Amino acid sequence: MHPAIPLSHHTAKLPVEAALQGSRLAYTILQPAVFFQNLAPMWPQVLRTARFSAPYSRHTPTGFVDYRDVAEVAAIALTCDRLACGSFELCAEHGLDRHAITAMMSNEAGIPIEAEEQTTEEWAATTAFPGTDREKGLLARMYAYYDAHGFTGNSLALTAILGREPRRLRNYISQLASRGGKT
C-alpha cells in the first residue's frame, strides 16, 4: 500500500507500476496493507510475556488486511476483466493502534496484554529476523516512518471488489487464539 511513500521497498515498485500503466497489457495492481498474518509468529511471545511490542509508537494508526481477502481479489483479477487496468489499495481496517489490537488480544486470550514499544535498536537486538543486515536496516527505516506518519488506508475498494465486508482483525485474532497460533 502507498507505493509513493519515501521508503525504498515502496518506491522501488513505482517503475514497475508505471511500466504496466504505460503498456497495452491488461494489468491489475494490488497494493495490500499490513497482513493480519504477520501477527502469527509473534503470538506465542505475546502469550508468554503478556505484551505486544513493536519498534514504533503504540499510538501509531496502522491499516491491516487478511491475505485471504487479497488472494480472493487476485483470483477475481485473474478470472475476469472487471479489475483490468486498475490499481487498488487493499485495506480491511484502518487506524488500529497497538492499544486497540491488544484489547482484542486480551479479550481472545483471556489475559491482560499490554501495548508496549521498543526502540529500533532493542528490536534489532531481540528479533529473530532471518534476513540480512541490509534488510533489517530497511525495516528499521520503515518503523521510523510508521512512528512519524502511521500507515493506514481505506476499506472502500476492498469492500467494493469483494462485494462484502472484508475479514476483521478481531476474528483473525480469535482464530489465532483458538488454534494456538497456527492459521
CATH number at residue 166: 3.40.50.720
Range of the domain at 132: 8-178
Task: Tell me what pLDDT residue 118 has.
Answer: 87
86 in a domain, yes or no?
A: yes
Burial code (b: 16+ CB inside 10 Å, e: under 16) for 21-41 equals: eeeeeebbbbbbbbbbeebbe
Whole-angstrom distance, CA of residue 32 vs CA of residue 149: 18
Q: Give the least confident one: 41-45, 102-106, 127-131, 144-148.
A: 127-131
Total Cβ atoms within 10 A of residue 16: 12
* Mean pLDDT score, 63-92: 97
Q: Which amino acid is at 18?
A: A
Task: Tell me what pLDDT residue 133 has.
Answer: 80
Q: Which amino acid is at 97?
A: D
36 in a domain, yes or no?
A: yes
Non-local (6+) Cβ contacts of 112 within 8 A are 50, 106
Percent of all residues in the chain with a pLDDT value above 90, rounded to a whole number: 70
152 in a domain, yes or no?
A: yes
Confidence of residue 119 (pLDDT cuts 50, 70, 90): confident
* Mean pLDDT score, 70-85: 97
Task: Tell me what pLDDT residue 132 has.
Answer: 80
Q: Which amino acid is at 157?
A: A
2 in a domain, yes or no?
A: no
142 in a domain, yes or no?
A: yes
* Mean pLDDT score, 88-107: 95
Whole-angstrom distance, CA of residue 62 vs CA of residue 45: 21
Task: Tell me what pLDDT residue 127 has.
Answer: 66
Q: Which residue has the cell 477475481?
A: 76
Non-local (6+) Cβ contacts of 100 within 8 A are none
> Is residue 2 packed enough to be buried (19+ CB in 10 Å), middle (13-18) or exposed (0-12)?
middle
Whether pLDDT at 129 is above 80: no
Confidence of residue 123 (pLDDT cuts 50, 70, 90): confident
* Mean pLDDT score, 134-148: 87
* Mean pLDDT score, 156-173: 98
Total structural domains within the chain: 1
Residue 95 in contact with residue 60, Cβ under 8 Å? no
What's the pTM? Answer: 0.89
Q: What radius of gyration do the chain's Cα atoms show? A: 17
Task: Tell me what pLDDT residue 11 has.
Answer: 87
* Mean pLDDT score, 31-37: 95
Q: Which amino acid is at 50?
A: A
DSSP three-state, residue 173: helix
102 in a domain, yes or no?
A: yes
183 in a domain, yes or no?
A: no
3 in a domain, yes or no?
A: no
